[in-house]
Amino acid sequence: MDISVMALDVDGTLRNPLIVALVLLYAAALAALTAASVVSWFRGGRSRFVSAVIVVSLALACFFNVAVVRAIAAAIIASSSRAAGHVGVGFFGSHPAWLAPALGLAAGLLVSFRIHRVKAAVV
């Protein structure tokens, strides 16, 4: 049985298009969490507990964003190689840790306040 292990070192900065795409996808997920949290908070009642849970998960997502982006990129790269089960992926360099949370929080707040303003205008 021939087991060959392959180690890949991949650029983890924003010069890598895969990292750019994953940062933008992660920012979109954070934007959805932010919008859900703010809309839930405006509704009040039991929704405030839901909003608190979403805020905690949002904080954890912001804290672990570099690790999550790297893990997803490593899984994509490893699954696309010919020796799918025997690939070690390492990263040199990193994208800015603040980028995905900043984009996600800003987009989520814009969307949620727009939704709240539209609902307030209808009522």
Assess if residue 106 is contained within a domain: yes
Assess if residue 44 is contained within a domain: yes
| pTM, two decimal places | 0.79
Number of domains in the chain: 1
Full domain range(s) for residue 84: 6-122
**Across residues 100-123, what is the average pLDDT?**
78
Q: Which residue has the tokens 């087991």?
A: 3
Cβ atoms of residues 35 and 115 within 8 Å: yes
**Across residues 61-87, what is the average pLDDT?**
80
**Across residues 42-67, what is the average pLDDT?**
79
**CA atoms of 19 and 70, how far apart (whole Å):** 8
Asked if the model's pLDDT at residue 63 lies above 70, the reply is: yes
Dihedral sign from CA coordinates of 9, 14, 15, 19: positive
pLDDT at 27: 92
Asked if the model's pLDDT at residue 122 lies above 70, the reply is: no
**CA atoms of 76 and 73, how far apart (whole Å):** 5
Portion of the chain with pLDDT greater than 90, in percent: 11
Asked if the model's pLDDT at residue 3 lies above 70, the reply is: no
Assess if residue 53 is contained within a domain: yes
Assess if residue 97 is contained within a domain: yes
Assess if residue 1 is contained within a domain: no
Asked if the model's pLDDT at residue 71 lies above 80, the reply is: yes
